[in-house]
A and B are shown apart, each in its own frame.
With several copies, the nearest count.
Chain A
């Protein structure tokens, strides 16, 4: 069964093949469900001129924010950035190109990329700067804009549990962009908290079927909280 054993045992192996200039799709929302260690490995490797596709860009010193320190990101597609002083400076200085993309459109572009749908129409963004230069067409009496799919050279994903076949489940809202990101990578790498034996995951309850996954690695996670909010 070597053919379906997707486990790797070092982060170096997990990100083998990543090169400067590549497009990396990352799961996560804010700091929740982000592939912390895969990001750190990208930093360690020092690859540059990356195009990053991710809902957010981490914070100073954590998450995708660490890739800003050595200016590894050339361009980012995101819906919300700038929780992050370094990011703001690089954006204002024109060192990083930012393509702001509505959150739902971003998710759908990843889903479309994975699903072999090259483009779709959506009402989201019509009449706004997002719609500028895009084809407009009316459906059901309402204008829509054409949005194209996204795929990446790599997708980096944070799961909860996986089996060696690459079947993955996510925990709570750490799911977010991870399942769609996982479908859209030419090489999809998933880091998880626990690798379980095949058969332990209920086949009907798998969020990401193994067919989308190329490499699985078990890691340890800090899981930093961005806005700790409690009730009395």
Chain B
């Protein structure tokens, strides 16, 4: 069965390490914060200028001067730092963030990512996504494996305008966890009960299937 959004977040959370500075995009990436393993501490960077994003505020704590990059009211945890947008993107562009998790429309076997623009549809902008994908060494893309119409999002070449070129090495979909290497997707893990055949069928890009493709487990 395809992973739920929560399971996707749970799986991504396994890539966290104690002491990681992490930037989480909007949507499923945001949920990852709920699955930080016990005894592990990560620090969330929000690109509007907050390192050490805390929980949502209580009604009493709501402060219009304290928001995250998704424009939601948030709090800062103890030991947080707040700074300008220039400083925030110095961190991001300079490769100081350990892990970035973000959604996408398409990823291709060259590690290109398209996530911000569908020609003909209204274009709202890339926000910080282009900076994030260009700056991080360590990016995990989360998205469904195929569109609602069954069209693969893991392509030999992105069809939509790119967010970044050659910058994605890891993709978690609702069906599989894959790594991108030498122009191919390498199938590393599959969702519980999802067959290699189904994944192969729904992967338009070049797919390498190792002898062993372990099934993910969730508690």
Contact = CB atoms under 8 A, between A and B. Distances in A.
A173 B122 contact: no
B81 A167 contact: yes
A79 B89 CA distance: 13
Given A103-B89, A114-B90, A115-B90, A225 B64 contact: yes
A90 interface: no
Interface in B37-61: 40-43, 45-52, 55-59
B50 to A, nearest CB: 5
Interface string A192-232: 00000011000110110111100000000001111111110
Nearest to A114: B94
Interface string B117-143: 100001111111111001100000000
Given A104-B128, A172-B63, A82 B122 contact: yes
Nearest to A188: B96
A173 B56 contact: no
B48 A176 contact: yes
Given A129-B161, A173-B50, A210 B123 contact: no
Nearest to B97: A211
Interface stretch (B67-75, B147-155, B183-191, B205-213): B67-75
Interface in B100-119: 112, 117
Interface string A163-194: 11101000111111111100100000000000
A107 B65 contact: no
Contacts of A154: none
A129 B49 contact: no
Given A3-B40, A124-B131, A173-B66, A230 B17 contact: no
Given A107-B89, A116-B90, A125 B130 contact: yes
Contacts of B85: 29, 55, 103-104, 106-107, 176-177, 180
Interface residues of B, number: 75
Given A80-B127, A173-B50, A173-B65, A4 B79 contact: yes
24 contacts: A3-B19, A3-B42, A4-B41, A29-B48, A29-B67, A32-B48, A82-B122, A83-B124, A100-B125, A104-B93, A107-B89, A115-B93, A116-B95, A123-B135, A124-B135, A128-B126, A163-B79, A172-B63, A173-B50, A175-B84, A180-B85, A198-B79, A223-B64, A229-B74
Given A174-B65, A226-B67, 16 more contacts: A2-B18, A79-B126, A104-B85, A104-B88, A104-B128, A114-B90, A124-B93, A127-B162, A172-B65, A173-B67, A174-B64, A180-B84, A209-B81, A210-B81, A211-B45, A211-B97
**Leading 6 A-B pairs by shortest Cβ distance:** A3-B19, A127-B165, A104-B89, A3-B18, A116-B93, A104-B131
